Chain A
Amino acid sequence: MEGVLSILVGIFFAVSIYLMMSRYTIRIMLGVAALSNAVNLLIFTSGRLMREVPPIIPEGASVPAMPTANPLPQALILTAIVISFSFLAFLLVLAYRAYQELGTDDITQMRVAEPADEDLPPVSY
């Protein structure tokens, strides 16, 4: 099961890297979204998989009766989902505002901060 999920994580990473190498901000955003999901799956897989045994301790016992699913990766993923979701929301607004102000979603055209034809510094005093 871990093997199958590992391949899935690999596909997610490949998709996100492919998208993030694009010139267009919207594809980069989609790549970021795919990347965060890839990471969540990766953490889930690295916590090892265990089917259908929730980490609940039966009545009257003080330890679980059998090996259970690892709850920690789920807590980590929950944190990571919340964070990556808020970042994606921010990035989408930022990309939209940048599109409005700069008139392009092509990052090779976004040269306001680093003009292509910038003067060289003076060579003499």
Chain B
Amino acid sequence: MAGNADHAVDYAAGMLMAPTSLADWLIVAPSLITIIGGASLVMLRYQAKWHGYLACFYLAALVLVDALLLSRVMVEGPITMTMGRWLPPFGITLVVDALGGLMALIAAIVALAVCVYSLADISVTSTRFGFYPALLWMMTGITGSFLTGDIFNLYVWFEVMLISSFGLLIVDGERIQLDGAMKYAVLNLMATTLFLVTTGYLYGAVGSLNMADIALRLREMPEGAAPMGTIATLYLLAFSMKAAAFPVNFWLPASYHTPKIVVSAIFAGLLTKVGVYALIRTLVLVMPEGRDMLSDLIAWIAALTMIVGAIGALAQNDVRRTFGFLVVGGIGSSMVGVAVGTQDAITGAILYAVNSILVMTALYLAFGILMRKNGGKVNLADLGGGYRASSWLSILFLALVFAASGLPPFSGFWPKMVLVESSLKEGYGWLAFSVLISGFITTIAMGRVWAHAFWRGGPIGTQDGRDAAPLYTLSEIVRRRVFVPVMALVAMIVYIGVYPSPVFSVSQYGAATLLKPDQYFDAVFGPVRAQEKERAEAQAVEGHRLNEASENGAVQNSEGAH
């Protein structure tokens, strides 16, 4: 501190003295890329035509950085970086483990796909209103949530994500968007405020905000010393609201069909999964005791969420709202894993979240292509003739229908299999049954969407499409920009379905780190412990030397040696 030079300040006691290695800057790079990228686009607001390309460039860089991070985590275990080099329980620590790295990578891939699609879908007006900066800043919040190791910091990233998502939701300011945004904004704000309330309680009970530190302290506390039940229940409520789990899910189908299709796609893919991620992080890693208390409640919530999602999907005429209910159902499947809580179950939850991110985004985008072709019709009764208009699109869509329902050989099959198996093993037979029954209802609902939109020759009321108006054909450049992202996502879904072991092993490693978090704790506190050990040794040597010196009668002033 300035003005304090009259007495020596021992920085080494309060800071990490080892310099941050260059490779560790990778951990903070995702946030930097997206924040600086968004800011640069705001500065270039009069060059709207560059926005899309630049945003795609930044997101491609984000994919690259996240891939590097994940590959490093898979080799070295969790890696950390502490802001300002303050000692970890005090400074904000960013931690990348396999779960966070995997989610961040998949999120970045999906965002890149959405960005490429936006090149054909976002008008110059929307660009001027700041669509791309909001997209990049939302990715800042999402990636930050996945990579932080500090619970208050997680709250801040949630808010970054939320305020940018408000911007994306109302970018055109239409009536329906304002209506949907009112419900979305108020209920999501309440959820994050509830998260903050709970964090306040947790801080009051434990006295720390660093996730690893809280987890260690809670494990050492005698039973009943902290109000674990209250805190875990409040976190469950807050993150369930964020993730749209059953009793608090109604904001999602009320708002997700109102914005542009690209915005719906990225919201459906990513926002609710951040809630699931936070739920896994807090309940499994930070307070496993709380999860054990609540496991039956979570199991009920999971089952009801799956069933409500599937039945809700069946009852909708607007296809985008059908998809909204599918998102809800997918959250239920992921929560099955949290409820069961074994390593296999958590693996299944992570895998399902990955599958759901890819499939929901691809579904909205594929349906967006169909909407472009039929002039924006969304009601099931008005759709038809999709197969004749584009056989490629109908094949891609059918693959997504299968993946969303959890049928092989697509990515939805494996997580459901793992979840069913692990719930049967833990005696949750009824939970396994609800996974299967919700998958069955989803198959009916999605099969009906495909049959009406693609297989039928024309809308209901026409004689099998013979007197229906033909669908539009897209220009070459538009076709390339809308089909490439959907094809890429479907290719990933098929790849994971046919060859699941890479993603499976990453998820399994992530689940193992959550359940036996010694590696995680070592990564956070390792540098501090090493430094303390070094100091203790140095002091021992120093003390030894001083003793010898005083024995010899040659007392030296050793003040300067520090």
Contact = CB atoms under 8 A, between A and B. Distances in A.
A and B together in one complex? yes
Interface of A: 20, 25, 28, 32, 35-36, 39, 42-43, 45-48, 59-60, 62, 72-73, 76, 79-80, 83-84, 86-87, 90-91, 94-95, 97-98, 101-102, 107, 110-114, 118-122, 125
Interface stretch (B183-191, B386-394, B423-431): B183-191
B252 to A, nearest CB: 12
B156 A79 contact: yes
Q: Which 3 residue pairs of A and B lie closest in terms of their CB atoms, listed nearest first?
A: A46-B204, A43-B200, A112-B179
B380 interface: yes
Given A83-B156, A113-B257, A20 B190 contact: yes
The secondary-structure label for the interface of chain B is helix
Contacts of A95: 182
Contacts of B179: 98, 102, 110-113
Contacts of A119: 317, 379, 381
Contact of B448 (A102, A107, A110, A121): A121
B380 A122 contact: yes
16 contacts: A42-B197, A42-B201, A43-B199, A43-B200, A62-B9, A79-B152, A91-B185, A91-B189, A94-B170, A101-B178, A112-B175, A113-B258, A114-B254, A121-B314, A121-B380, A122-B380
Contacts of B460: 122
Nearest to B460: A122
B451 interface: yes
A87 B178 contact: no
Interface residues of B, number: 52
A59 B7 CA distance: 9
B203 A98 contact: no
B372 interface: no
A44 to B, nearest CB: 9
B315 A120 contact: yes
A83 B170 CA distance: 20
A102 B318 CA distance: 21
A48 B200 CA distance: 11
Given A47-B203, A91-B189, A122 B381 contact: yes
Interface in B184-231: 185-186, 189-190, 193, 196-197, 199-201, 203-205, 209
B7 A94 contact: no
A112 B176 contact: yes
Contacts of B381: 119, 121-122
Contacts of B316: 121
Given A20-B190, A121-B381, A39 B178 contact: no
Contact of A94 (B185, B190, B253): B185
Contacts of B314: 121
A43 to B, nearest CB: 4
B204 A47 contact: yes
Contacts of B203: 43, 46-47, 72-73, 76
B234 to A, nearest CB: 12
